[in-house]
Chains A and B, each alone.
Chain A
C-alpha cells in the first residue's frame, strides 16, 4: 500500500510528467454521449458555374473500448483549372484518398487489428493515400489539378496530410490556429515578411499554388499532428471560406451558432455575402470529451 502511494506521488517540480488519469474524462452518466460530432456544407457560390470542391466525411464511434472512442475521416479537395477538369480532379482525388485511408487505416482501427496497421506508421499511410490520389488525378486527360487535405481523427489526436491551400484550423480556448501551411506563393512571401497578409489578399499571384495534385508525378505531402482538447473544434475549409472570412469571424460563428450544422451553414452564407466568387466547402468537427 505504502509502495503504491509512493509510486503515484506527483513530482511537483517536474511539470512535464503527464498525469496518470486523463483530465476531463466523462463521468459515468455521459457514457452514452457522442464523443465527436461532425457537420459539413458546400456551396457553388455566386459567380462560378460549377462547384469544383469535393469532400467526404465519415464518422464512427467505437463502443468496444471504455470510454467509447471516436474515429473520423474528413477530406476536402478544391479543384483548380477553371474548366470541368477541376471537378473531375477533386472528386477523383477524394475518392482515391478515401479508399486508401479507409482500407489501410480506418478498417484496422475499427476491427481492433492495429497490429496489421502497426507495420506502417499513420503518417506514411496518409501520405501514400494522397500520393495515390495524385497519380489518379495525373491520369485525367486535362492539366487540371486539385488541392487535398485529409484528416484522421482517432481518440484525442488528429493526423493530417495536405497539399495546396485547403486549410485545417484547430479551434480551442477562443483561438483559431491554422495547422496547415498554404502552398501558395503569397503565403511564402508573407512568411518571409516580403508582403503583409493584407497585401496578400489582393496580390496578382494570390491564386498561384506551387504544389497541387495532378501537376507532377513526384509530390511532397505535408504531415501534421494535433492533440485535441475537450471541447475543441477542427475546421476544414477551402479558400472560398478563408479567402473572404477572417479567422475572428469564423470563431464567432462557431461559438455562437446553436448547432454544428448551423455553424457550417452560416459560414457559407458569410462567404456568399462577401461576393461568393469561389466555391466554398466547410467541414466542422467538435471533440466533446
Chain B
C-alpha cells in the first residue's frame, strides 16, 4: 500500500467517521523498557521509505555544507539515515533504520540538535530544551507518546532517537482538504488527547505541562488511527508559582503563558484553540490573539453542535479558573457530546419570565412606535385612531379618530402631538384633551412619521413630497419633490433635513429653503429613517445595505451589506450603531468604520428600530418577540412573546419599555434596571 493510498484511506475514513477500535480507557504499556523489541513488523510498512512529510532530498542548507545529514550517513554505527523528514527550530528530524536489527525494517526517528546555531539568543536555551525533551520522554510510558530509544552526542551535536510514528499530523491533514474537519472525528481525537494530557498532568512526582498543543503536534497514526502527541521539546515539569520565559506557539498558547506561567489548564486552552482551528479552519496564528470568544464556531461551521461549541469555548475561557479544571473533566464532557445525536435542539437557558405591567388592546394592528412624553404614551393604530394612555397604568386618556389607518409614529412638541394618517392628512392635536389644533391635507397616504425641528414639522407623504410646516399654525414653509413616495421620516440636523425616498435616493435638503444640497443614490427604495451622529447620516436601503454618508457632502464613507432589506432605522449609542435587517438579524457595528461588533439572529425580519437604554438594546422582530440584548456583547437578556409580528419600534420611558404589536396590543414591560 503506497503512502498516497494510506493518506487517501485516512481521508476516506474521515468521511465514514469510524471511531478507533480500542476502548477509551486502555492502560498504558508496561514501563521500564529501554530498547523494546519491535512489536512485529507493521503490516503496511513497505520496503521503500514512505513519502510522508518533507522532500525526499536533503534540503539545500544555503551554503552550509555540514548543516544536514545525508542519506546513508550512519550515527553511532547503528542508525543509518534514510531520509530527511522535517526541520524544526532546533535542527532536523530524520528517518533512520536501526542497524541492530538487520533482518527487519526497524525504523526510528532521529531528532538532531545542532549546537552551533546562527541566532545566539536561542542557542543557549536550545540545548536545555533538547535535554529536557529527552529526559521527560524517557520517563513517560503511554500509548499516545512516542517511546525514547536512545540519546547521545556525536560531533558537536546531540541526538534523540525516538519511535517513528507513521501517520499524518492534523495541520497537514487540514491543508489537504478544503472543508472543516467533521465533528465526530474531532471529538474522538480530542478525547484521546485529553487522555494523554491527563496522563501528563497526573505524572508523579510532578505534573508535566505539554505547552505546545497545536494541530501539527497531534499525529494520527496510520496503523491504528490513534492520536500520538509529538514534539515534547518544550514540555516542562510544572512548578506552581514559578514563572519561566514565554514560550509556546503564538495563537494557541493561553494568555498566562505569555507571562511565563505554564500550568495544566494552559494545555486545556491550547487544546481548545486547536479544536477551534480544526472545526472552523481559522488559523489562530493569523488572527489577533485571544479573539476566539468573538468567533463562535457555529458561525463558521453550522454543522457543529451547540454542545460541542460549548465544550470548546469553555476550554478557551480567558481566565484559567473559568476553564475546565482538568483534561479529565473536558474528556467527560466530550464523551457526552459523542453521545448526543445531531440535531438535538439546544436547551434554552431558562429566562426570567417577563410579565407586562399593563397592556392595552385596540381594534387593529399597531405598526408604529409609541411616543412617551410626560407620563403619557401616544400611539397610532390601524384602527384609524391615535391613542393617549396614562404611561404607568395604561388607562386611556383620549383617542382621536381619523379616516385612515395610522402607521406612522407620533411626534410630541409643546403640548401638541403630530401624526399622519392614511387618509392623507397630517394632524396636530392638543395633548391634554385630544382636540384638534390644525390639519394639513396632502395628496397621498402618510406613512412617514413627522419630526420637529426649529418649531417646524417635517414629514413625507406618498404624494412624493416632503413638507415643512409651522408647528404652531400648520402654515407651509416649503415642500420638496422626492421623486417617489416618501415613507421614511425626515430628520433634522443642523442646516439639513435628511430623508430617503422610494426612488432610491437619500436627500439632504436645506432646512430653511427646501433646496437640495446633495443626494446619494442607492440601488433601491430607502424606507428607513436616517440617524445622524459623528457627522454622518446613517440610513438603510432595501438594497440590503446600511450606508454611512458624510453629512457635509453626502459621500458614502462606508457601507455594510446584510442579506436582507434594511427597513429598520438605525440607532446610535456612543460609538455603536444598531440596526435590523430583513435577514432576521440585529446588527451592532462600530459607527465610524462600519466594522461588525456582533449580530444576533432572531427568527423573523427585524423591521423595527432598536432602542438603547442603560446598555441594553430593545428590538422587536417579525417572529413576534420583543428582545432585550446586552448592548456590548449581543447576549440575550430576555425576550417577550406577543401574538403577532412586531414591526414597530419600542419606546422607553418611566422605567418601562413600551411596544406595540400586530396582535392589536401595546405592552408595557419593566426594563432591566427600571431607568
Contact = CB atoms under 8 A, between A and B. Distances in A.
Interface of A: 3-4, 6-9, 16-20, 114-115, 117-124, 154-157, 159, 183, 185, 188-189, 192, 194-195, 204-205, 208, 210-211, 215-216, 222-225, 227
Contacts of A121: 547-548, 556-559
A210 B288 contact: yes
A155 B287 contact: no
Given A17-B494, A223-B594, 17 more contacts: A6-B454, A7-B455, A7-B512, A18-B551, A20-B495, A114-B553, A118-B520, A121-B548, A121-B556, A121-B559, A122-B555, A124-B559, A157-B535, A188-B290, A204-B121, A210-B287, A210-B289
Interface in B518-554: 520-521, 533-535, 547-548, 550-554
Contacts of A224: 592-593
B590 to A, nearest CB: 9
Contacts of B255: 192, 194
A185 B286 CA distance: 11
Nearest to B551: A18
Interface in B496-518: 511-512
27 contacts: A3-B477, A4-B512, A8-B512, A9-B455, A17-B494, A18-B551, A114-B553, A115-B521, A118-B521, A118-B555, A121-B548, A121-B557, A121-B558, A122-B555, A122-B558, A155-B553, A157-B550, A183-B288, A185-B289, A192-B255, A194-B259, A205-B246, A205-B250, A210-B285, A211-B286, A216-B286, A225-B534
A18 B494 contact: yes
A189 B286 contact: no
Q: Which of A16, A19, A188, A216 has the most CB of B within 10 A?
A: A188
B139 interface: no
A194 B494 contact: no
Contacts of A194: 255, 258-259
A225 B593 contact: yes
A223 B558 contact: yes
Closest 6 CB pairs of A and B: A121-B556, A18-B494, A123-B558, A223-B593, A20-B495, A7-B454
Contacts of B301: none
B363 interface: no
B117 to A, nearest CB: 15
Interface in B222-270: 246, 250-251, 255, 258-259
A112 to B, nearest CB: 11
A124 B534 CA distance: 19
Nearest to B520: A118
B497 to A, nearest CB: 11
Contacts of A118: 520-521, 554-556
Contacts of B592: 224-225
A99 B283 CA distance: 32
Contacts of A205: 246, 250
B340 interface: no
Contact of B535 (A17, A18, A222): A18
B595 interface: yes
Interface in B541-585: 547-548, 550-559
B470 interface: yes
Q: Which of A118, A122, A159, A192 has the most CB of B within 10 A?
A: A118
A189 B533 CA distance: 32
Nearest to B287: A210
A188 B288 contact: yes
Nearest to A121: B556
Nearest to A21: B495
A9 to B, nearest CB: 7
Nearest to B511: A7
Contact of A122 (B288, B512, B557): B557
Contacts of A8: 454, 512
B60 to A, nearest CB: 15
Contact of A204 (B246, B454, B470, B552): B246
B595 A223 contact: yes
Contact of B289 (A9, A119, A156, A188): A188
Nearest to B247: A204
A54 to B, nearest CB: 24
Nearest to B535: A227
B454 A9 contact: yes
Given A118-B520, A118-B555, A123 B454 contact: no
Contacts of A17: 493-494
A256 B493 CA distance: 39
B664 interface: no
Contacts of B556: 118, 120-122
B447 interface: no
B481 to A, nearest CB: 20
A195 B559 contact: no
A3 B558 contact: no
A22 B528 CA distance: 29
Contact of B494 (A20, A183, A185, A188): A20
A20 B495 CA distance: 5
A195 B255 CA distance: 10
A119 B522 CA distance: 8
Nearest to B259: A194
A39 to B, nearest CB: 27
A121 B406 CA distance: 36
B111 interface: no
A224 B557 CA distance: 10
Contacts of A156: 552
Given A7-B511, A9-B454, A192 B290 contact: yes
Interface in B282-325: 285-290
B456 interface: yes
A194 B557 CA distance: 35
Contact of A123 (B470, B551, B593): B593
B493 A155 contact: no
B286 A210 contact: yes
B454 A195 contact: no
B377 to A, nearest CB: 23
A37 B562 CA distance: 40
Contacts of A20: 494-495
B202 to A, nearest CB: 29
B248 to A, nearest CB: 11
Contacts of B535: 18, 157, 227
A188 B294 CA distance: 15
A217 to B, nearest CB: 11
B414 to A, nearest CB: 13
B470 A3 contact: yes
B69 to A, nearest CB: 26
Nearest to B456: A7
A281 to B, nearest CB: 25
B258 A189 contact: yes
A155 B246 CA distance: 47
Contacts of B285: 210
B472 to A, nearest CB: 10
B455 A6 contact: yes
A185 B250 contact: yes
Contacts of B593: 123, 222-225
Contacts of B246: 204-205
B553 A189 contact: no
Contacts of B286: 210-211, 215-216
Interface string B446-461: 0000000011100000
Nearest to A114: B555
Contacts of B251: 210
A4 B251 CA distance: 62
Contacts of B250: 185, 205, 208, 210
